[in-house]
Structure 1
């Protein structure tokens, strides 16, 4: 897409989290003049995207996500490499699959999960089929785990990326673009602009997440807690999920022997520090997967609230001509962001989106016109 295919030449984007940065880069690459406003600083300190594992796991997430989100996630797996290739710095990305494990006492819950994933495979047949593993199969994938677990599942071709590396690469790309202006510590609302009027941007795109709640009252926060550790004694090659009595723990290996451990999901917009209970449960569960976590060093215990709509699905709105709002990515932000980006670009270019229908997003569109 280039400037000739867009019916506008200037845009303001509110919110420099994941979606805001992706849209800013894409529009600027298309020749559009872009101004990006964010209430925080360039490190994305206020963004939910900074506190995430950035796993790209549509089949794994189907345990809580509907087929439309699964399809978005599957679509995005092939789009991410293309998007990453255009950035000013490399970003860690892999597609080595997701490993699902469980302790003997949690076998009934694991069987229930396997049935759910099998049903997803029937509903979304384009997904690679999951594979059942015995101890030898687990050891072949992760040698350190073969003696700890007798059974597991491999969800092939699922992936992950480095969320903070991506945010930094998007920032570096934007900073190098002459047609982009970045405004930090500069909170703005859609009410601060008159899109299309003289001296105003032709389009305003609101990607503020929970920051948009004054204009989108249905938004709520869903709290997540994430622990980042440096664990030189742990060798894991792919994201690993542990079937857990209260929530599905995940361990995502990042470059430099850093691991992101998380899984909590609390219906609250409380942004206070993580509780002792959650911290103990996450670290104990990680230790039960690999004893090397006992000597890990805790780098960070972080909390953040994900912007969520009542149906837990993403949505687009046009509150008035020239203004688009994108929100409600919930816990699936990195997994579905390329799909949401491509839908947004189709809508901005023509007012219509074939992808929106493919991903069951059409009901959320309220006459988004170019």
Structure 2
């Protein structure tokens, strides 16, 4: 008889894990306080950037390594989904205004140190910039191209994973907010993927501390603007990225505030994001603002993700993906599923040289 598992939390990590567990023969029930569209999840407002090279400057070595592993995994995962998902893998471009040129050299130095001696970043001069990004011609004289990076359409991913869960006969219980304590004893195993929603339970145990870090993004429709890849603007106060999505829609982000406020995006954040957007290209001045959104990223004090397990309570917890959810979730979910399989079958635990897996007993 197939083993049963309850996955609590239907955001990106929860959906990926539930789908893979169902494919592995588990009888899966998924509980989420939100709906199938994923509107309650941090992934719903994310830009879904797959940018381990660009993020290496601020991210930990573990996150960078997980990001490098996940970029290739995404293409294989998307091929299995029942709905089409936008995937762009044309690299990303870092630009700056003339007065901020020192930031570019600082960025390159930090990137080289973080990535190592084989850093693939390339300097593009004005001619190549004009060829690769025609609408930026004349606005920037130099850029730093980061190859192999990509992006997804985040809400398409959530929708496609919802369809994949239905195809695998996962018992999806949307609009059902539950705790692990409420489900104890009803399933063979529990998997907690609630992100920030698990703060109380996570922090009740010894170990790393979970908090929410607020982020705000804008979505605009700009039919007069075309970009072939995500563009990052270096700025002394607020670095900005512009992620071009299908149909001339753009996601612009992102602020990062040490706050657990769930309030709507502030006027200040909106002004900063949109002013920087206009500085990249004045045609964005005619763009339609589709939404200004805010959300909390589940963050551990060391900024790495963790997978915790407790054999006695038969529970596994996945948390701390911070602002890197789309970038690292394929690798993290794969390790989590391997761990659950090993625990359920009394097999050796998967190799974990990076220390992602923590015993909580």
When the two structures are superposed, what TM-score results if normalisation uses the length of structure 1?
Answer: 0.91
Alignment of 1:179-328 (within 5 A): 180-194=170-184, 197=185, 200-217=186-203, 218-319=209-310, 320-328=312-320
Shift of 1:332: 0.3
Shift of 1:247: 2.4
Greater mean alpha carbon deviation, residues 233-242 or residues 318-327? 318-327
Listed one character per residue, the Cα deviations across residues 227-250 of structure 1 (whole Å, up to 9, x for unaligned) are 001100101010100001222200
CA contact (8 A) 2:9 2:194 kept: yes
Match of 2:157 in 1: 166
CA distance in 2: counterparts of 1:213 and 1:190, whole angstroms: 13
Shift of 1:170: 0.5
Match of 2:68 in 1: 74
Shift of 1:192: 1.4
CA distance in 2: counterparts of 1:312 and 1:138, whole angstroms: 34
CA contact (8 A) 2:92 2:147 kept: yes
CA distance in 1: counterparts of 2:327 and 2:168, whole angstroms: 26
Shift of 1:62: 0.9
Match of 2:141 in 1: 150
Match of 1:45 among 32, 39, 50: 39
Alignment of 1:68-147 (within 5 A): 68-122=62-116, 125=118, 129-147=120-138
Match of 2:330 in 1: 338
Greater mean alpha carbon deviation, residues 234-243 or residues 317-326? 317-326
When the two structures are superposed, what TM-score results if normalisation uses the length of structure 2?
Answer: 0.94
Shift of 1:367: 6.1
DSSP-derived class of the 1:294 partner: helix
**Which blocks of at least 5 consecutive residues in structure 1 are unaligned?**
none
Shift of 1:167: 0.2
Listed one character per residue, the Cα deviations across residues 81-132 of structure 1 (whole Å, up to 9, x for unaligned) are 1111111101001110010001111111221111011112316x4xx60001
Q: Which runs of 4+ in 1 moved over 4 A?
A: none
Match of 1:59 among 47, 53, 58: 53
Shift of 1:281: 1.0
Shift of 1:350: 1.9
| Count of matched residue positions in the alignment of Structure 1 and Structure 2 | 350
